[in-house]
Every structure is written in structure tokens, then in C-alpha cells.
Structure 1
Amino acid sequence: MQKNDLPSNENGYLKDYIFLITSSLKNLTNIELVDFSLNLEEQAKQVFNSDYVLLAHNATQEPIFNYANKTALRLFEMSWDEITNMSSKYSAESDERAKREKVLADVTEKGYSKNYSGIRISKTGRRFKIQNAVIWNVYDSENNRVGQAAMFDEFEYF
């Protein structure tokens, strides 16, 4: 998948990609992240402006973030360009990366994981614990895995 621009009215808030993220979550877990009665652009705008954190990375060997909503950008203290040029493994401190990789490998195999907790770090070095995160595979319309996404609304700064 090509690099996305910052979600906005001009690009429909990346509605096609958000549809893959939200429909994959619903299909795997029956969790509805958005109001599916809204049109795709309204759904994508709702996701970008929501209070929960939503992040996604691509399916390359060393995944790069390709989506972060406003809450994620604030939490990680990064701009859109900074986060979408970063390997997602760097969202965790070095001693947390093995645990993170194991969970992501399990998600790749099983489709999703609920109740994940872990330590993350912002660009400025601010550490925080995320709790009860849902992590899932993102599939395209032909059922090819195109990445993974994570959503949580519980975090605590150290």
C-alpha cells in the first residue's frame, strides 16, 4: 500500500483504507468501531476524530505505520509525516519489543487479540502503559492481509 496523506476532506479521510480496518475488525471480532449506517467518508472522519487511539501498520517485513488518528498523534507526540515514516516497532521501548513481536505474530496467525497491555513511548520519551488494546489483521476485499491495526482507549502515563 502506498503512503497515505493526512486524513482530510480532500482525501475523504482515507475512507477506503478505514473501511478495510473497520470491516476487518467487525468480521473478526464483531466489534463495531463506527456507525456502519453512515457513509464511508463520515465513518472515516468519525474514526480520525475519535477519542480512542487507532493505529495501523502495513504488512511488510518491518512494518511502517500507515495510519494514526488524532488521538494517536497526540499520544505519541508526532506529526502525521513523522508517524507514517516510522517502523511501528519503535513505538515500544527496546526491552518491550520481543513481547510486542510475539503478540503480532499471534495476531497474524489467529486474526486478532484482545486485552493486550504494554509499555509504549512517545517521540519526546514520555512513557505510558496501554491497556485492553484490541489488535487485528487488516484484510483487503480479496482477503489478503494488508496490515494490522490496534485500538485502545485506556492508557496511563508513568
Structure 2
Amino acid sequence: MDSETQLPWQQETVICHSQRLMQSFQYWTGFSLLDASGSPEEIAQGLFDAPFVLASHGTEPDPILNYGNRRALQLWELSWEEFTQTPSRQTAQEVVQEERNRLLSDTATKGFSNFSGVRITSTGKRFEIQDGILWNVIGEDNQLFGQAAVCSKCKFLT
């Protein structure tokens, strides 16, 4: 089965990244994103179908989104292919970029941060994230793979 016909969570790179997301979140916060029992494939499916929004970006100079679970894709109104080609800065309006950049920098230093803020969908709808957590995604040797964010509370603004 090729990546064209696979669901995102079935791709080997996404399965590996899902492990990093889980392990990094546990490392920084002491909590688990979800019940982590099962095979790496089952965990990847669990994260993708989780009842919260989960997204991450890489380490490029202008970071590109590299993961979004089903709720994130629905929230930002993008397909997997569109989402994973989007610079993460485009998830926030220009007027909040300075605040967003400060949050990313603070998290890079501390490992994780709690946050709330207004973001924007691909079609221009504004929504507020409440009680989000942003953390550094690291590998087994503490190599930085980017940053990820999770939130359970989002509401659209009028």
C-alpha cells in the first residue's frame, strides 16, 4: 500500500513521529497524551483519532507543519497534504505573530508552555485556543525535531 492510499497514521514516518510526540509530551509534562497501550501503529491511530487537537511543526527556519490529527485537519479546514505543506506561522493572523513567536521561543528554552490564543483557519475563520500546551518534540538522543501543540478547548469567534 503506498502513501497515496494510506491514512496518515498508517505511514511509517507518521508512526515514528507519533512515538516522538507521545514520548516528548511525557518527558516534558510528566503526563501522557492518551492511554499509550498497544503497538506503535495502534498508538498512531489513537493519536490521529483522539478527541483533542494535535499539531506539530519541524525545525526549518520557517517551520512547516508536519503533523495534524483528524481534529486539527478539520479545525484548519485542510487535507493532510495541504496541512503538511503549510508554514506554521500561517495558523495565526499577522497581528498575533509577535505573541506567537515569543511563545515558541519561550518553549524552546523551557521545554513546554501552557498557552491560550487566537488562531486562524485556512479559510480565514478565527478561533480561540484555551488551555493549550506547546512542547519541544525530541528524539531518544534529545535531538530536536520541532514543536507540537495540543488543546481540547477551541471556540470559533464571530
| Structure 2 partner of 1:7 | 8
Secondary structure at 1:33's aligned position in 2? coil
Secondary structure at 1:18's aligned position in 2? helix
**Aligned-residue offset at 1:74:** 0.4
Please state if 1:31 is matched with 2:31.
Answer: yes
Please state if 1:19 is matched with 2:42.
Answer: no
Secondary structure at 2:119's aligned position in 1? strand
Report the number of matched residues.
152
Distance 1:97 1:6, change over 3 A: farther
Distance 1:64 1:23, change over 3 A: same
CA distance in 1, matches of 2:137, 2:7: 19
Superposed CA deviations along residues 29-57 of structure 1, whole A, max 9, x for unmatched, are 01201222221111110000111000000
Aligned positions of 1:139-150 closer than 5 A = 139-150=138-149
Is residue 7–residue 13 contact of structure 1 (8 Å, CA) maintained in 2?
no
CA distance in 1, matches of 2:31, 2:38: 16
**Aligned-residue offset at 1:12:** 5.2
| Structure 1 partner of 2:154 | 155
CA RMSD of aligned residues (A): 1.4
Structure 1 letter corresponding to 2:97: R
Secondary structure at 1:23's aligned position in 2? helix
Secondary structure at 1:135's aligned position in 2? strand
Runs of 4+ in 1 over 2 A off after TM superposition: none
Structure 1 letter corresponding to 2:146: G
Is residue 58–residue 147 contact of structure 1 (8 Å, CA) maintained in 2?
yes
CA distance in 2, matches of 1:6, 1:85: 17
**Aligned-residue offset at 1:83:** 1.1
**Aligned-residue offset at 1:93:** 0.3
Per the normalisation by structure 2, the TM-score is 0.92
Distance 1:155 1:88, change over 3 A: same
Per the normalisation by structure 1, the TM-score is 0.92
**Aligned-residue offset at 1:15:** 1.5
Percent identical across equivalent pairs?
35
CA distance in 2, matches of 1:149, 1:7: 17
Secondary structure at 2:102's aligned position in 1? helix
| Structure 1 partner of 2:3 | none
Structure 2 letter corresponding to 1:131: Q
Is residue 58–residue 64 contact of structure 2 (8 Å, CA) maintained in 1?
yes
Distance 1:49 1:12, change over 3 A: farther
